[in-house]
A and B are shown apart, each in its own frame.
Chain A
Amino acid sequence: MLKRILTRARAVWRKEQIHAEIAEEREFHMAMRAADLMRSGMAASAANQAARRGFGSGVRMQEQGFDVRGGGLMEDITGDIRLALRILRKTPVKTAALAATVALGIGINTAVFSVMKAVVLDPLPFTNAKDLMVIHQVSKGASEGVSYSNFEDWRATSRSFEAMAVYAADSSTLTESGLGRRVSGAVVSANLFHLVGLTAGLLLMASSARFLSGWLYQTSPLDAPSPACASAVLMAVAVVACWAPARRATRVSPMTSLRGESHRSALFPREGRGKATTRRCRDGL
């Protein structure tokens, strides 16, 4: 498969060489044939002519040889690409709009998905996250809170765990210059951060939080409206970008586009022609 693709690619870049090779192979064959004919007693000019006649028109051999070595398909493909580029160059405004739409789409998607990946998909970056367990106290099938003395007993008697820490969800009120704010959080034992490998991270976070919040335009990473807004903007752009061509396409009569298949320009009729065909079509119906 790879070899075939390489052959095809080679056919495009080395078109001249392939044609020269086919011609050389033909020349060799004719020389050999002529030599054989002369050896059997034919005159040189007649022998050369006979040898040449064997191939008929060499054009067919050239084209077949080139096609078989991957040239035909590649020439078709490069031809299509060239046509597409020419159309794009002839309509710079449309091309710019298309490029902007695609760029915006890619940009927004990349942004949203990288946030989603970091927040939702990736496991939190704890050290030895695989060995990390949550231990519950269970009573009658339902988990419940554990008392601190129970936790101390567990820690003292456990042999399966390297270390054990405890936390309890809690919320408190922060006041800053008279304004109170409810903040949800947790009370944790002193060794918890060390256990999950967060000590350095927390220090870094505390020192950089003010700086980073500016980067995120004061948006929290779990803030639902921001990705929603981004998606809405993308959809609106897509609708706008599709609207104009779709409207134009509906104005072309099916017969016109069928007739135009061969020269392809009917899909983008000039204002005047498009209207004329529509009128004619209505008259006909």
Chain B
Amino acid sequence: MSKKKPDLPQGTLDLLVLKTLSLGPMHGYGIGQRIQQLAEGMLLVEEGTLYPALYRIEQRGWIEAEWGVSENGRRARFYKLTRGGRKQLQEEKQHWEHLSLAVAKILGAV
């Protein structure tokens, strides 16, 4: 935690969570870990933001939660993508690609 890691723009975490869960059901801790691994340590997802985001996405019906048993034999709440969530992921992904392309173009201007 020596180096300051960039904050995620508002709403981006939802997209990352949906993407992570599209690889398979996972509990909250695993989602955070997976995001960090996939970003090769460039991002840090704080617990204080991750769980509110999970609950919010669950409320919208994009993910579903179910109690299951984790890899170390403990009871854990597993989240999985719903059909609506899969659609939402496609939409948000397109939106993000569009946006980042536009921003990159502007920043690349000489």
Contact = CB atoms under 8 A, between A and B. Distances in A.
Main secondary structure of the interface of B (DSSP, over half): helix
Given A25-B51, A28-B76, A55-B48, A68 B59 contact: yes
A24 B74 CA distance: 10
A29 B52 contact: no
B74 A61 contact: no
Interface string A24-52: 11101101110110000000000000000
The 6 A-B residue pairs with the shortest CB-CB distance in the complex, in nearest-first order: A68-B55, A32-B29, A54-B47, A29-B29, A64-B52, A25-B77
Contacts of A69: 55, 58-59
B75 interface: yes
29 contacts: A7-B59, A21-B77, A24-B75, A24-B77, A25-B28, A25-B76, A25-B77, A26-B51, A28-B27, A28-B28, A28-B29, A29-B47, A31-B74, A32-B70, A32-B72, A35-B72, A54-B47, A55-B47, A55-B48, A56-B48, A61-B52, A64-B52, A65-B51, A68-B52, A68-B55, A68-B59, A69-B58, A69-B59, A70-B59
A48 to B, nearest CB: 14
A33 B52 CA distance: 18
The prevalent SS among residues of A at the interface is: helix
Interface of B: 27-29, 33, 46-48, 51-52, 55-56, 58-59, 61, 70, 72, 74-77
B58 to A, nearest CB: 7
A200 B22 CA distance: 72
Given A25-B77, A28-B27, A65 B48 contact: no
A60 interface: yes
A68 B33 CA distance: 23
Interface of A: 3, 7, 21, 24-26, 28-29, 31-33, 35-36, 54-56, 60-61, 64-65, 68-70
Contacts of A70: 59
A28 B52 contact: no
B48 A68 contact: no
Contacts of B47: 26, 29, 54-55, 61
Nearest to A7: B59
A69 to B, nearest CB: 7
Contacts of A61: 47-48, 51-52
Contacts of A31: 74
A68 B29 contact: no
B54 to A, nearest CB: 9
Contact of B75 (A28, A35, A60): A28
A56 B61 CA distance: 27
B19 to A, nearest CB: 20
Contacts of A32: 29, 70, 72
B86 to A, nearest CB: 18
A54 B74 contact: no
Given A35-B72, A64-B55, A65-B55, A29 B48 contact: no
Contact of B29 (A24, A33, A56): A33
A28 B70 contact: yes
A70 B58 CA distance: 11
B30 to A, nearest CB: 8
B29 A64 contact: no
Contacts of A26: 47, 51
Contact of A54 (B33, B46, B61): B46
